[in-house]
A and B are shown apart, each in its own frame.
Chain A
Amino acid sequence: MSASTSQALDYLEGQTQITHQKLYEQPSTALAVFRCMLPHLAKTIVMAMLYMPRAFTIGDLDHWIRANSKGEREKAISVLQSLHIITHSQESSKSLSYRLESGFANSLRQALTGGGNHKSFGVPSSTPDKNDVDIAFLDQFARKQWEAILYFMVGSTSGLRDSTGLGETVGNGTRKLLEIGDFVTRANHGTITKTGFTFLLQEANAQVWSLLIVYLKQAPELGMNEVDVLSFIFMLGSLSLGQDYSTATLSPTQLQMLEDLNDFGIVYRSSKTSSRFYPTRLATTLTSDAGALQTTSTTFSNALRPSTAPGKGYIIVETNYRIYAYTSSHLQIAVLSLFARLSSRFPNLVSGKLTKDSIQRAIKLGIEARQIIDYLTAHAHPQMQKNNPVLPPTVMDQIRLWEYEGERIEATHGHLMKDFSSEKEYQDTLGYAESLGVLTWKSDQKRVFFVDRLEQISAYLVSKKEKR
């Protein structure tokens, strides 16, 4: 499981059992969940149980797994349970055992062995497309659409003029979605937010998921069936790149979705009425495994910036705070301009400087110093990656110090405890708060202290009262 799908997992875990059961009816969904949502150990457990006629006792499971990997086992089991893939059952009086959810097991078996008439892996078009498209075209299309969204997010903030119309192609629906997802705010003609910046810093795959999850949350309001939406997304992940698929088997919700996904660049349709669609690389990598994902996302990110030399990074940061970025992409320039003062540009290079002003301006926008450092590190030029740490330590320190400079006062939410009846009671409660690690401040003179969490203390006080 990669970091990019963890938010998808979070979302999925939040769903009800009913939703899960409905989802698992589709073999493609079952396979996708199995492939990209489960930790490795959980996969092993599921595979072991898939063709097991009986329930799996806890005792057996303990034998399977080494004692020192208890943490991983707990995690695997908890994920499986929260996704309602396995359930607890009391087989006999003594032994607890696990049982694979039958719907999930059936679908997964079907997905693995094939057969059935579910059509959940999409139906390739039977007739050849008159205006056939190739993979390169799809990549370019996906890149264009996705970059437009990102560019829309940073473009307005960095004040890039939209004369190339890059940000303009972003549909109203998408704009609204970005607002709902709190990636941009309406204020000042759409400024990027902290969440938005975090979003930007992610790799393409994680970005797609983040956006899709916002889309999912939004689905009921648009009159769409959430389960339909989810299973369609999972289905997309199992499609193959370059193949055209028929829209005939899709539900009305899914047909509606196609339009939006076309906007995101996740699928390609030649027209709104076309009876076929092509998944792009953004779609086909959605549910792939970590290894596969990495290679594909590298090729994709290379596709995202054709002008850079092979290799991932493009930024050089020097100890004199100058930064040099090997790029010509407006998107990357816009991102850089959020936190650096740019000065010159050549066909394949942008140079600028990190200044106190530029960093503090970024911090005012809600971008954290940590995020800036992460971005610079993640996109460091191969020459920089020879170093350890990648960025010059002085520069990292300075960026952090610039952030701290504006943050002299630290606010802590919590509760003030006062009016203790006796010194003893004060000391006693204080001691308890201290041992819990919730104490943030105290004044013995005034017999008051401040805690950032109250529940346990109030419970403690109540229990003390009861004792008396």
Chain B
Amino acid sequence: MPPKRKAQTQAPSSDEYESDEPPLSDQEDFERLKTKYDVVARVKQERATHVVDAASHLFKKCDQWDADLKPDHASRPIWVDDAGHIIMESFSPAFQDAQAFLIVIAEPQSRVSRIHEYSLTAHSLFAAMSVGLTTEDIIKQLDYYSKTSLPLGVRTFIQESTSSFGKARIVLKDTKYFIESTDPAILQELLRDPVIAECRTSGAEGFVQEAAPKMGNLAIPGTKLAAGANQVAQPGVQRQAEDMLATLREDDDEEEIDRVHSFQIIGEDRERVVKKCREIGTPLTEEYDFSQDNMNSSLEINLKPGTQIRDYQERALNKMFGNGRARSGIIVLPCGAGKTLVGITAACTVQKSTMVLCTSAMSVVQWRAEFIKWSNINPDDIAVFTSESKNKFPRNAGVIISTYTMISSSRNRSYDAEKVMEFIRSREWGLLIADEVHVVPANIFKKVTYSIASHSKLGLTATLLREDDKIDDLNFLIGPKLYEANWQELAEQGHIAKVQCAEVWCQMTPEFYTEYLKASSVQKKGLLSIMNPKKFQNCQYLIDYHEKRGDKIIVFSDNVYALQKYAQKLHKAYIFGDTPQAERLTILENFQHNPEVNTIFLSKIGDTSLDLPEATCLIQISSHYGSRRQEAQRLGRILRAKRRNDEGFNAFFYSLVSKDTVEMYYSSKRQAFLVDQGYAFKVITRLEGLQERSDLAFYTPQDRRELLVDVLMAKDADGEAEHIDGDMFGKYKAGGHKKKPGARRMAGTLSELSGGQDMAYIEYNKSRNKDFKQKGIKNDFIRKLNRGAVNAKKQARNAQ
């Protein structure tokens, strides 16, 4: 297959990472900070001395039976334990207010129907401080909502972590970097550090004082406020007036609280200061006073008139632009809830050059289309930087959309690419939008942030979770989590589809289970449980059932061997890592518009950033161990279903697991996140009418035996999940110890090898993929018309 090979050789140049990265230099800093502000460790000593009663030993996590209950506890919605864990009643009258508050200061753990859980972490408090809450605010409010008096541990924890966090900011004003704080003592503290003192611009003594920035009349486009505000006054003018007032009032010290103090640092040393501050436990928040920035030219971009952003998007953006400046941070919205629009609106608010980074070339195309769809930006101002096209924007400001791989690649680049990179490096960027930020490993992202000088960064993701704890690093590299939406609430309001989740238990057939127990390698076991004929039949049954209902179905399989087997046997189209880009697009297009193609099989590459609003049903036959994120991402594929607002519409999410295999164990792990978001997984042990059907594949024992032989003959490597793009982190990890393909020895007869057994070649399981390619245009007239167009192009090119 020549075309395929060609595609393969092209790809690696951009899709691969160096595996021999040096270890992160400030890894230890992260660790240290993490442990220092670990609540659990903090309360351990307190626990030891706690009064116990008969039932105390049952409550290992927290026992506060003797805390004082406030007399009017029934009307207060939350309990707070000494480890910063918060339990909230959603049926309490004060729920809405309390939720709005908790979402700012704590991490949501579970948000189901009646009782929600949150937990206070150093990061969440960091985020709270950075949106302008004070320590007293947090403690007072928390105490107000709490049914019991706040445990002392929590109080001190909040005080200690907020005293150091979020107190100092690094701001870019007139392209000069300032360290700014409301409390001069903190600045003095910082300056006592020799490294920071050294980085201070020479010649300046004392701190610059000015009024604290307020929201002013900055309006986020797309909100109701924006409609009028834009014409009234240029924000800049207003701000200047305020500044003048501030200088006039300089002498009277009445309004100490509203004053901010700052000192300037040398621009080149910014990185050192940030790092040093992190080391001494006073991480700096990054803010960008974009309306004051006159050095970088503004970009003509605004949302198209009539574009209204949804209220939760507005809330998220308010967190980002709360004080009239752009804060760096992460916004977490479920898939399909309009992350892209949030990013675009942010760009429209900042109105400076913007860099967008996404995970694949496919989503680059989608981002560009979205920009043109929602905003009035001149299409020329949007440049695309991928392995296929390397553009720059012609004017002083613009938008560049690229992939993480393109920016962070340390390989030799082509001349064009190098030139674009230089262009990117040489500029200052107003905003960096990092899409699907959870997939990016820290070291890659560090590289990205170092090569792109951006004033503010916005991370977008649906699932801020990883099985490893690498997510924490993002808190330092991008910023705190600014907003996280409640899935159930969005589903209620019709912004995302309602989904029925089910886990289908498929009995292993006796032959397969015998082999499963005998199998020596994990891969083989995995393969046997995926290829379980009962599972195959269940899958076929579900596809049949939902196709008849008029659903569009996506079937996910991590395992390529299984993917191909299933798709070919069922005669459906499939896409995996090796499928050439053009073929992918044809298949996806057919899936979207061709009523004949209602089912496609996707490998891991379909997990993220694949926008298929037609899909309404999802079947998962194999998956990546216990990855909660993958489960959530896959669910995300059907959340944006077009038909979601139809009366009584439900999308369906099936996860097929073979009974009594490891799949069962992983399945329950995977669901943990979604279950905490309020999704209920129904277990189906038996599908109605499956037993009676004789038209399903592998109905006869003969067929099953053949399948078993097939599976047993498969190489171990076939049992592994696909290692390709998409999950960059997986790539990075796997890169270190790649297996070498070697010779294999196996028993067999000579006749087998020579083809002497009575076998003849017939292609039964023809790939459906090929169907699409051969479909030319049948109508003579149109073909002629097309040919005419092609000729015209050719002539035009010749003329040049």
A192 — which chain B residues lie within 8 A by C-beta? none
Is B59 interfacial (CB 8 A cutoff)?
A: yes
A373 vs chain B, min Cβ distance (A):
15
- Residues from chain B with a CB closer than 8 A to the CB of A158 are 58
Query: B146's closest neighbor in chain A, by CB?
Result: A346
Give chain B residues whose Cβ lies under 8 Å from the Cβ of A330: 53-55
Q: For the complex, what is the distance from the CA of A158 to the CA of B148, rounded to whole Å? A: 27
Q: How far is the CA of A161 from the CA of B676 in the complex (A)?
A: 33
A105 at the A/B interface (Cβ < 8 Å)?
A: no
Cβ of A160: which chain B residues have Cβ within 8 Å of it?
54-55, 57-58
Interface string of A183-203 (1 = CB under 8 A from B): 000000000000000000000
In the assembled complex, the CB of A167 is this many whole angstroms from the nearest CB of chain B, namely 9
Known contacts A324-B87, A346-B79; A319 and B678 CB within 8 A of each other? yes
Whether a CB of chain B sits under 8 angstroms from the CB of A162 is yes
Q: Which residues of A contact B169 (CB under 8 A)?
A: none
Q: A337-B58, A344-B85, A346-B64 are in contact. Are A318 and B683 (CB under 8 A)?
A: no
A384 CA / B117 CA spacing, docked (Å): 18
> Contact: B58 with A342, CB < 8 Å?
yes
Q: What chain B residues lie within 8 Å of A155 (beta carbons)? A: 54
In the bound complex, residues from chain B placing their C-beta under 8 Å from that of A347 are 64-69, 147-148
Instruction: Encode contact with B along A346-371: 1 for CB under 8 Å, 0 otherwise.
Output: 11111100001000000000000000
Is A414 an interface position by the 8 A CB rule?
A: no
Known A-B contacts A344-B63, A344-B81, A394-B682; the reply to A163 vs B87 at CB < 8 A is no
Residues of A within 8 A of B685 (CB): 401
Interface string of A382-398 (1 = CB under 8 A from B): 01100000001110011
Chain A CB within 8 A of B440 CB: no
Q: Is the interface of A mostly helix, strand, loop or mixed?
A: mixed
A345 touches B65 (CB 8 A): yes
Q: How far is the CA of A351 from the CA of B53 in the complex (A)?
A: 17
* B115 contacts A318, C-beta separation under 8 Å: yes
**In the complex, which residues of chain A have a beta carbon less than 8 angstroms from the beta carbon of B705?**
none
Indicate if the CB atoms of A346 and B65 lie closer than 8 Å. Answer: yes
Output the least CB separation between A2 and chain B (Å): 31
Interface centre among A155, A160, A320, A397 (most CB of B within 10 A): A320
- Complex interface residues of chain B between 631 and 678 (CB less than 8 A to chain A): 668, 675-676, 678
Instruction: Report the number of A-B residue pairs with Cβ-Cβ less than 8 Å.
Output: 115
Cβ-based interface call for B625 (8 A): no
Are the CB atoms of B64 and A163 closer together than 8 Å? no
Given A318-B114, A384-B114, A397-B682; A351-B65 close (CB under 8 Å): no
For residue A382, which residue of chain B has the nearest CB? B91
Instruction: State whether A166 touches B54 (Cβ < 8 A).
Output: yes
A343 CB within 8 Å of chain B: yes
Q: Is A328 an interface residue (CB 8 A)?
A: yes
- Complex Cα distance, B91 from A318, in Å, reads 13
Tell me which of B55, B66, B112 has the highest count of chain A C-beta atoms within 10 A of its own C-beta.
B55
Residue of B nearest to A384 (CB): B114
- Contact call A344/B55, Cβ cutoff below 8 A: no
| In the complex with contacts A320-B675, A342-B59, A164-B54 CB distance below 8 A | yes
| Residue A334, interface by CB 8 Å | yes
B61 sits at the interface (CB 8 A): yes
Judging by beta carbons under 8 Å apart, are B115 and A324 in contact? yes
Tell whether A309 is near chain B: CB-to-CB under 8 Å: yes
A351 and B87 contact, Cβ closer than 8 Å, known pairs A163-B54, A342-B59: yes
Q: A401 and B683: CB pair below 8 A?
A: yes
Point out the residues of chain A lying under 8 angstroms from B63, CB to CB. 344-345
Shortest CB-to-CB span from A314 to chain B, Å, is 13
Docked complex Cα distance between A394 and B671 (Å): 13
Does the CB pair A345–B55 fall under 8 Å?
A: yes
Give the distance to chain B from A92, nearest Cβ to Cβ, in Å: 62
Known: A394-B682, A394-B683, A398-B683. A345 touches B114 (CB 8 A): no
Question: Whole-angstrom distance from the CB of A347 to the nearest CB of chain B?
Answer: 4
Minimum Cβ distance to chain A for residue B459 (Å): 26
A344-B59, A347-B65, A348-B69 are known contacts. Are A163 and B115 too (CB-CB below 8 A)? no
- Which residue from chain A places its CB closest to the CB of B675 in the assembled complex? A320
Bound together, the chains give a CA A159 to CA B59 distance in angstroms of 12
Q: Check if B60 is an interface residue, CB within 8 A of chain A.
A: yes
* Contact yes or no, B682 A393, CB < 8 A: yes
A319 touches B62 (CB 8 A): no
Asked if A333 CB lies within 8 Å of chain B CBs, one says yes
Asked whether, in the complex, the Cβ of A345 is within 8 Å of the Cβ of B59, the reply is: yes
A322 vs B672: C-alpha distance when bound (angstroms): 12
Considering the complex, give the chain B residue whose CB is closest to the CB of A334.
B55
Q: Does B385 contact A (CB under 8 A)?
A: no
Alpha-carbon gap, A383 to B682, bound state (A): 22
Q: Is there an interface contact between A320 and B67, defined as CB atoms closer than 8 Å?
A: no
A330 to B52 CA separation, bound complex (whole angstroms)? 13
Assess whether B113 is in contact with A318, with CB atoms less than 8 Å apart: yes
Q: How far is the CA of A321 from the CA of B115 in the complex (A)?
A: 12
Within 8 A of A (CB), among B675-712: 675-676, 678-683, 685
Enumerate chain A residues within 8 angstroms of B55, measured Cβ to Cβ.
160-161, 330, 333-334, 337, 345
- Could you say which residues of chain A place their CB within 8 Å of the CB of B68? 347
Q: Is B345's beta carbon under 8 Å from chain A?
A: no
Which chain B residue has the least Cβ–Cβ distance from A320?
B675
Instruction: Identify which of B53, B74, B91 contacts A163 (C-beta below 8 A).
Output: B53
**Chain B residue with the shortest CB-CB distance to A395:** B680
In the bound complex, how far is the Cα of B91 from the Cα of A348, in angstroms? 17
**Closest residue of chain A to B110, judged by CB?**
A320
Cβ of A162 and Cβ of B114 under 8 Å apart? no
Check if B680 sits within 8 Å of A316, measured CB to CB. Answer: no
Asked if residues A161 and B54 are in contact (CB atoms below 8 Å), the reply is: yes
Residue of A nearest to B682 (CB): A394
Tell me, yes or no, whether B419 is within 8 Å of chain A by CB. Answer: no
Does B73 sit at the interface, judged by CB under 8 A? yes
The listed residue (B61, B73, B680) touching A348 by CB distance below 8 A is B73
What are the residues of chain A within 8 A of B57 when measuring CB–CB?
Answer: 159-161
Q: Considering the complex, which residues of chain B in the window 80-116 have a beta carbon less than 8 Å from any beta carbon of chain A?
A: 81, 85, 87, 91, 110, 112-115
Cα-based distance from A161 to B682 in the complex (angstroms): 38
Complex Cα–Cα for A401 and B63 (A): 31
Asked whether A344 lies within 8 Å of B58 as measured between CB atoms, the reply is no
Given contacts A162-B54, A333-B55, A334-B55, contact A392 B680 (CB under 8 A): yes
Encode contact with A along B135-147: 1 for CB under 8 Å, 0 otherwise.
0000000000001
Q: CB distance B681 to A394 under 8 Å? A: yes
A334 to B59, CA, bound (A): 12
Q: How long is the Cα–Cα vector from A319 to B68 in the complex, in angstroms?
A: 30
Give A76 Cβ to nearest chain B Cβ, in Å: 43
Cβ contacts under 8 Å, B56 to chain A: 161
CA distance A162 to B81 in the complex (A): 25
- A134 CB → nearest B CB, Å: 26
B161 to chain A, nearest CB (A): 21
**Are A344 and B115 interface neighbours, CB within 8 A?**
no
B503–chain A nearest beta-carbon distance, Å: 9
With both beta carbons as reference points, the residue of chain A lying nearest to B502 in the complex is identified as: A394
A324 contact set on B, CB distance < 8 A? 87, 114-115
Residues of B within 8 A of A350 (CB): 59
- B115 and A316 form a contact (CB under 8 A): yes
Q: Bound state CA distance, A350 and B87, in angstroms?
A: 11
Contact: A344 with B61, CB < 8 Å? yes
CA distance A32 to B74 in the complex (A): 43
A145-187 near B? 1/0 per residue, CB < 8 Å:
0000000000100111111101000000000000000000000
Cβ contacts under 8 Å, A383 to chain B = 91, 114
Residue picked from A321, A348, A393, most chain B C-beta under 10 Å: A348
> Please, could you name 13 A-B residue pairs with CB atoms under 8 Å apart, sorted by A?
A160-B54, A161-B56, A163-B52, A163-B53, A320-B110, A324-B115, A343-B59, A345-B59, A345-B62, A345-B64, A346-B67, A347-B147, A348-B69
Binding site for B on A (CB under 8 A): 155, 158-164, 166, 309, 316, 318-322, 324, 328, 330, 333-334, 337, 342-351, 356, 383-384, 392-394, 397-398, 401
Q: A161-B56, A330-B54, A347-B148 given. 4 additional CB < 8 A pairs? A: A319-B675, A322-B117, A344-B61, A344-B63
Query: Which 6 residue pairs of A and B lie closest in terms of their CB atoms, listed nearest first?
Result: A344-B62, A343-B61, A319-B680, A394-B680, A320-B675, A347-B69
